[in-house]
A and B are shown apart, each in its own frame.
Chain A
Amino acid sequence: MEYTRRLPPTKTSDAPFSPVILEARQVRKSFGAVQALKGVSFDLRAGEVHALVGENGAGKSTLIKILTGALQPDAGELLLRGERIVDNTPAKARSLGIAVIYQQPALFPDLTVAENLALASESGTPWRRVDWRLRRETAAQLLATVGARLSPDARAGTLSMPEQQMVEIAKAIHANAQVLIMDEPTASLGDQDAANLFRLVSELRAKGTAIVYISHRFEELFLLANRVTVLRDGVSIQTCAMNDVTNADLIRLMVGRELDTVFPKHQTTLGDTAFEVRELSCRSLGVKNASLTIRRGEILGLAGLVGSGRTQLAEALFGLAPVDSGEVFLNGQPLKVNSPGDAVRAGLAYVPEDRRRHGVILELSIAANSTMASLGKISNASGFLNPATERQLANDSIATLGVKAPSADTLTKNLSGGNQQKVALARWLMTDPKVLILDEPTQGIDVGAKSEIYHLIGQLAARGLAILMISSETSEVLGLSDRVAVMSHGEIVGVLDRAEATPQLILEMALGHSE
């Protein structure tokens, strides 16, 4: 399903004769026994947007880190305009004009926007005097260029995600980068900010900047990119013009096999209303008068722009913040949830958006993570743990969800993103919930794993769970949901049936245009 965002002016046609700015030849990198890159070659021309796609674990992040000097390759070389880059470091890469915008903005939360911008590009002896006036003026100019309405004196930690992303982009522009690498830049941007971004990318390209663009959102790539390189298992499979491939081609190259029906929609008979929310308000989180119902076996999609309050609604329902007014009913019975513990006991489960910080505890094993919300099941009446039961339940989960790991004792931090998400799911499924809230369940996960998770979700619905699925990927929402609720500015502005939901409609409602 395609949908359109505000489009930038058409991309310039391919320029096969523009010079190669950055080149990686036969780069290898291993982490212990794991070979992340097995001899990747990649070239980047001036004035092009070069898309880089691949499943998680294909080696994209590693390649980026090598290009920017955050990691050293084991073998192979990097060339800038034909000259070898020796001993690449972040500082050196910066000075050579290679800039990167990572998925997570890496700003200094306690420093001001002006200082953040300055630190990214200033150089000189460490003992020089800092010119604050110049810093502030420069910052003001840059912020205007990227269209961000921020004060240079604002502390970066107080900015929202999209605002931080804007500052990151300003950083890169300020650095006069010849090479700009963007890793999932629209991951936390709403449609309006994304449109802004596309405009900027086009402007930079027109100026001759070479841009590496990594994204799972193929629609963006088709709009922006000149060429695309597909990585798979540490090897670059194919590089070609963006116009020469289709969605299906890309998926096939990434996964190595045909993937049918990415969105398996199970047909389920829906039961009675299992979960009802009436006029829920949570001031501290910004949720206003939210109302919704979910039937047994139903998947209610929750769409909306970033910052519309969907995660906040989920957190309020799960007891992570105090509710100010409104009522919640589970299977007809009123429900008072003051803490996540209450929620779990009642039969709610919440798989959070931030997998690495909230979904799992990285330093713990799969076994410990998966049993963490069901400690009652692996302990006796006095609270003493039963290691045998724990192991058994953990192994069951691993098998059921298909987690790829050597054993239940493997530390979660050593798993790929997709497998980590499965562990997070395992944790909540072990609690035998009646209502499951999923928040961006496939964010940052490769296509293969996504498909598995969609299957799982379908199975859970078939088992009779009431599922609330928050997602920013419209195709995902439309593909899986029985109904779609749309949130905007902390309120639920409407609920659409599967049949009547279209991307445009959802977008309009999300933007706040009433119908």
Chain B
Amino acid sequence: MKLSLDREWPALAALVVLYIFLAIAAPNFYHFDNLRDLALANVSLLLVAAGMTLIIVIAQIDISVGSLFAVVSVAFGALIKAGLPLLLAPFAALLIGAALGAMNGALISYVRAPSIVVTLATMIVWRESLRWSTGGAWVEDLPKNFQWFGFGQHIGQAVIVSSALILFGVFWWASENVSAFRAIYATGSDAEAARLAGIPVKQVLFAVFVLMGALTGVAAVLNAVRFSDVPANSGMNLELKAIAAVVVGGTPITGGRGSLLGTFIGVLLLGSIAPALTFLGINPYWEKAIQGAIILATVLFDALRSHRERRLALA
């Protein structure tokens, strides 16, 4: 795996600056407890952003993940409440996520509708359908072994974080080393050339959205078991955070290139802002503004860099 950081270094630099600042101004940020809680809180963002990376690599976008997350969370809880064994429930959740992702994939790949429009529509339809059918009610009175998969808090936390990291790691490795994943990069780089090279472009495109749905499903499960009940409206603004993390991490929106390492850094950076603000005593009201400024700074940086690249190439 190549580790040249030419696209990821701005995000990394920002992260390092932030963390140095914290080390000086609020050293208690670095307590194990806080770092562990930070990790747990961002497990779902990490997995969703991983899937979003591939979606952006294949030159598409998906703004329905937040709604998908909410639906799978509630379905997961409801299934367990209805008696589905705890061992099977996560797989059921994964399947439901994959099925919803397949909806997106079918419309985008086979009907060839633009992804921004399709996922805008499914985002609305899924969330509203969920609200309509649950009436906004939380899933409560779940069996005791729902929380932490029954492992108890500390083991459960370790299981959640390590599952997510392992899954992410596998995903990262696969994206560089498994031929099917390389087909995603090829398709994102030039779909027509991919077709001519014999890559089944439509299937690949479809599969990426199914994968996104499945990953979001897993993220929903890993998040849900941190608590003892399931709220009706989770995953708000998840898509924005995921896209921001991918973009800030250096993956260009034009597709063909992507860096899961960059996404990891992006997730860390964006996930650390809110707690950092509290630790530094800064008004919470500025969180969104800071998030927006980071995104804009990243794109500015990137634009200036490619400006330079273009001029160097021509000289």
* Alpha-carbon distance between A68 and B195 when the two chains are bound, in angstroms: 12
Q: Are A110 and B189 within 8 A (Cβ)?
A: yes
- B133 CB → nearest A CB, Å: 38
Binary per-residue interface labels of chain B (43-86) against chain A in the complex, 1 for a CB within 8 Å, 0 otherwise: 00000000000000000000000000000000000000000000
Closest-by-CB residue of B relative to A132 is B177
Q: Are B256 and A110 within 8 A (Cβ)?
A: yes
Q: Are B179 and A122 within 8 A (Cβ)?
A: yes
Q: Are A107 and B193 within 8 A (Cβ)?
A: yes
Interface size class, chain B = 20 to 34
* Alpha-carbon distance between A94 and B196 when the two chains are bound, in angstroms: 10
Q: Are A124 and B179 within 8 A (Cβ)?
A: yes
| A115 contacts the other chain (CB 8 A) | yes
* Alpha-carbon distance between A371 and B212 when the two chains are bound, in angstroms: 46
Tell which of A70, A109, A110, A286 touches B315, judged by Cβ atoms closer than 8 Å: A286
Chain A stretch 98-117: residues in CB contact (< 8 A) with chain B = 106-111, 115
Tell which of A90, A125, A130, A286 touches B198, judged by Cβ atoms closer than 8 Å: A90
* Alpha-carbon distance between A213 and B127 when the two chains are bound, in angstroms: 58
Q: Are B315 and A283 within 8 A (Cβ)?
A: yes
Selecting from B136-144, B180-188, B261-269, the interface stretch reads: B180-188
Q: Please give, as numbers and ranges, the residues of chain B lying within 8 Å of A107 by CB-CB distance.
A: 190, 193
* Alpha-carbon distance between A283 and B314 when the two chains are bound, in angstroms: 8
Q: Are B178 and A106 within 8 A (Cβ)?
A: no
| A127 contacts the other chain (CB 8 A) | yes
* Alpha-carbon distance between A120 and B186 when the two chains are bound, in angstroms: 11
Q: Please give, as numbers and ranges, the residues of chain B lying within 8 Å of A108 by CB-CB distance.
A: 185-186, 189-190, 193-194, 256
* Alpha-carbon distance between A129 and B180 when the two chains are bound, in angstroms: 9
Given contacts A91-B198, A110-B189, A130 and B178 within 8 Å (CB-CB): yes
* Alpha-carbon distance between A109 and B188 when the two chains are bound, in angstroms: 10
| B311 contacts the other chain (CB 8 A) | yes
| B128 contacts the other chain (CB 8 A) | no
Q: Are B178 and A120 within 8 A (Cβ)?
A: no
Q: Are A129 and B189 within 8 A (Cβ)?
A: no
Q: Are A126 and B180 within 8 A (Cβ)?
A: yes
Q: Are B256 and A90 within 8 A (Cβ)?
A: no
* Alpha-carbon distance between A126 and B207 when the two chains are bound, in angstroms: 13
Q: Are A284 and B197 within 8 A (Cβ)?
A: no
- A102 CB → nearest B CB, Å: 8
Tell which of A70, A126, A158 touches B196, judged by Cβ atoms closer than 8 Å: A70
Binary per-residue interface labels of chain A (122-157) against chain B in the complex, 1 for a CB within 8 Å, 0 otherwise: 101111111010000000000000000000000000
Chain A stretch 440-473: residues in CB contact (< 8 A) with chain B = none
| B241 contacts the other chain (CB 8 A) | no
Q: Are A120 and B197 within 8 A (Cβ)?
A: yes
Tell which of B177, B182, B257 touches A119, judged by Cβ atoms closer than 8 Å: B182
* Alpha-carbon distance between A124 and B182 when the two chains are bound, in angstroms: 13
Chain B stretch 298-315: residues in CB contact (< 8 A) with chain A = 311, 313-315
Binary per-residue interface labels of chain A (266-306) against chain B in the complex, 1 for a CB within 8 Å, 0 otherwise: 00000000000000000111100000000000000000000
Q: Please give, as numbers and ranges, the residues of chain B lying within 8 Å of A70 by CB-CB distance.
A: 196
Binary per-residue interface labels of chain B (161-201) against chain A in the complex, 1 for a CB within 8 Å, 0 otherwise: 00000000000000011111011011011101111111100
Q: Please give, as numbers and ranges, the residues of chain A lying within 8 Å of B177 by CB-CB distance.
A: 129-130, 132
| A26 contacts the other chain (CB 8 A) | no
Closest-by-CB residue of B relative to A91 is B198
| A196 contacts the other chain (CB 8 A) | no
| A502 contacts the other chain (CB 8 A) | no
Q: Please give, as numbers and ranges, the residues of chain B lying within 8 Å of A176 by CB-CB distance.
A: none
* Alpha-carbon distance between A286 and B315 when the two chains are bound, in angstroms: 6
- B17 CB → nearest A CB, Å: 29
Closest-by-CB residue of B relative to A171 is B197
Q: Are B189 and A109 within 8 A (Cβ)?
A: yes
Q: Please give, as numbers and ranges, the residues of chain B lying within 8 Å of A91 by CB-CB distance.
A: 198
Closest-by-CB residue of A relative to B197 is A119
- A299 CB → nearest B CB, Å: 29
Closest-by-CB residue of A relative to B254 is A110
Q: Are A106 and B182 within 8 A (Cβ)?
A: no
| A416 contacts the other chain (CB 8 A) | no
| A89 contacts the other chain (CB 8 A) | yes
A sample of 9 inter-chain contacts (CB < 8 A) reads A90-B196, A90-B198, A94-B198, A107-B193, A110-B185, A124-B179, A126-B180, A126-B183, A129-B179
Query: Interface on A for B, CB 8 Å cutoff?
Result: 68, 70, 89-91, 94, 106-111, 115, 119-120, 122, 124-130, 132, 158, 283-286
- Assuming A70-B196, A126-B183, what are 19 further A-B pairs, CB within 8 angstroms? A91-B198, A108-B189, A108-B190, A108-B256, A111-B186, A115-B182, A115-B186, A119-B186, A119-B197, A119-B199, A126-B179, A126-B180, A127-B178, A127-B179, A128-B178, A128-B179, A130-B177, A130-B178, A286-B315
User: Which are the 7 A-B pairs with shortest beta-carbon distances?
Assistant: A91-B198, A110-B256, A126-B180, A108-B189, A110-B189, A106-B193, A110-B257
